[in-house]
Amino acid sequence: MREQTLKGVALLEKLSLTFGPSGCEERVAETIVKTVSPYADEIVRDRSGGVIAVLRGTGKAKNIRRVMLSAHMDEVGFMISSVEDDGTLKLAPLSARDPKILAGQYVTLSDGESFFDGVVGIKPFHLKKDGAPEYGDLYIDVGAGSREEAEKVVGKGFFGTFRSDFVRFGQNGRMIKGKALDDRLGCTVLCDTLREIKESGEQLPFDLFCAFTCREELGISGAVCAAEVVKPDAAIVFEATAVADVDGVDPTRRVAEQGSGGTVSYADRGTVYDRKLYSLILDAGKKHGIPCQPKKYVSGGNDSASIRRSGEGVRVAAISAPSRYIHTASNVVREDDFLSIEKLAPAVLREIALKETEL
């Protein structure tokens, strides 16, 4: 009997809680391999550490023969840059993160094998000069009283990230809060899409590749490695995007609205997306009654730019979950947006299968 694997919100929770800052994605990859193995025809590991789950099609596609879905496994994090005489640790960012949101946060440190807890500290505010804190003002307290004591458990080069609970809150628990929803939400969508296509018994006319990539948050995307392996004709990136839908933000600068489904990008700071794929995704939402929305503000970026420039060029699209407080310990998404994206992904694949000769 096939072992039951997690799916939906339960899988999202497990992936959210898994340690995996950029450069230390191994534990996330292990969970993903275990989850997708029953549904994939083949599992490929690229040299950057990424996981590619392959589902073979009928081979009858004429134009779009290889489709890649992509989501990155890494989360925002930092590294230990030095151990001080008093036993505190200095840190250096591994990704775009505002230092002022770190003070007082509970964090996990690891060398990939051992794990230790700590708290990000800062000089008391009554002793600090005016202005927002910088990374040099921060340190990590691991409960050590000296350099020697600290170095018995941690050292330079350790990775770190937030330690944050996965919580449901709001009316009927409709809001989901957790770390690394950027982009463990995308990883969950890929796992569940592969499962649905496999369990439905249908065969797509093209080969499907679900690529779980590394190091997106560093801007040195492992997605280009996956794209070089797969050589897709078309790719769709599943991400989280900073929604900016809170009070005080000019409506013209709001990216999207939570509760209106996945956000489909026409352009961001890294690329302009394929117009036919962009339209196909929005049309698929309308056809199947699945909420989705166009991204209303050109901002951010994701693995799409790297994938688009790989090989001879790839046609790309992106579907993002509107997320509040991105790159903090408390990413917040709406469950119905997540579930809408989970429905939209296989619907888009089926629409590509129907219309691939027109794309």
Distance CA 59, CA 48 (A): 28
* Domain assignment present for 109: yes
- Residues 256, 335: one domain? yes
Chain mean pLDDT for the chain:
91
- Residues 82, 71: one domain? no
- Residues 149, 241: one domain? no
Structural domain count of the chain: 2
**pLDDT tens-digit map of 165-188:** 999 999 999 999 999 999 999 999
Last residue of a domain, one of 129, 162, 195: 162
* Domain assignment present for 168: no
Amino acid (1-letter code) at residue 270 = G
CB 161 within 8 A of CB 84: no
Distance CA 96, CA 43 (A): 31
* Domain assignment present for 68: yes
Amino acid (1-letter code) at residue 200 = S
- Residues 40, 121: one domain? no
The confidence score (pLDDT) of residue 1 equals 33
Q: Residue 283 burial by CB count (10 A; 0-12/13-18/19+): exposed, middle or buried?
A: middle
Last residue of a domain, one of 137, 162, 187: 162
Q: What is the CATH number of the domain that holds 89?
A: 2.40.30.40
- Residues 242, 348: one domain? yes
Closest CA to 218 of 75, 94, 335: 94
Closest CA to 90 of 98, 81, 79: 81
* Domain assignment present for 249: yes
Distance CA 59, CA 66 (A): 9
* Domain assignment present for 348: yes
Closest CA to 260 of 211, 293, 212, 295: 293
User: Coil, helix or strand for 75?
Assistant: strand
Closest CA to 241 of 174, 292, 287: 292
The confidence score (pLDDT) of residue 96 equals 61
**Which conformational region is residue 182 in: left (phi greater than 0), alpha (psi within -120 to 50 degrees), or beta?**
beta
- Residues 207, 307: one domain? yes
Closest CA to 322 of 255, 225, 247, 273: 255
- Residues 191, 59: one domain? yes
The confidence score (pLDDT) of residue 3 equals 47
Q: Identify the domain containing residue 143 by its residue range.
A: 78-162
- Residues 155, 267: one domain? no
Specify the residue for token string 């093209």: 206
Q: What is the CATH number of the domain that holds 348?
A: 3.40.630.10
Phi, psi of 103, deg, nearest 5: -55, 130
The confidence score (pLDDT) of residue 102 equals 87
- Residues 238, 266: one domain? yes
* Domain assignment present for 314: yes
- Residues 142, 55: one domain? no
- Residues 51, 136: one domain? no
Q: What is the block-wise mean pLDDT of the chain (359 residues), using blocks of 10 residues?
A: 74 97 94 97 93 97 96 94 95 79 91 92 72 82 95 91 96 96 96 97 96 88 90 96 76 83 90 94 97 85 87 93 93 97 98 94
Last residue of a domain, one of 162, 192, 222: 162
Q: What is the pTM of this model?
A: 0.94
Distance CA 178, CA 165 (A): 6
Tell how strand 292-294 and strand 262-264 pair up.
Answer: parallel
* Domain assignment present for 46: yes
- Residues 49, 185: one domain? yes
* Domain assignment present for 2: no
